[in-house]
Amino acid sequence: MKISARNQLAGTVVSVTPGAVNGTVKVDIGGGNTITASITEEAIAELGLQAGDRVTAIVKASDVLIGK
C-alpha cells in the first residue's frame, strides 16, 4: 500500500479500549514512547486489532501544535 503521509511510526499495539462509537488504540513506538489513536469501532473490527499486533501509525495533519 502506498500513501502520501510521510509521518509513519512502526510499533506494537499495547491495548485496544472499546467505546460506544470510537475506541482507543495505544501503540508502543519504542524508546519509551506510546501514542494513542482514536478510531472507529468499525475500523478496529475490520483491522482485527489486538494487543501484540505490529502496526504502523500514520499521522496526516495540516496543523501540529506545540505547548510548553
CATH number at residue 52: 2.40.50.100
| pTM (predicted TM-score) | 0.85
Cell triple for residue 35? 501514542
Residue 61 pLDDT more than 90?
A: no
Query: Does any domain span residue 44?
Result: yes
Longest dimension (CA), the chain: 38
Query: Does any domain span residue 48?
Result: yes
Query: Does any domain span residue 67?
Result: no
Site of grid cell 467505546: 19
Q: Give the three-class secondary structure for 2.
A: coil
Structural domain range at position 54 = 7-59
Strands (E), 1-68: 7-17, 22-30, 33-40, 54-59
* Per-residue confidence band for 10, with pLDDT thresholds at 50, 70 and 90: very high
Residue 64 pLDDT more than 90?
A: no
Residue 2 pLDDT more than 90?
A: no
DSSP output for 48-62 = T--TT-EEEEEE--S
Tell me the sheet residues that pair with 65.
none
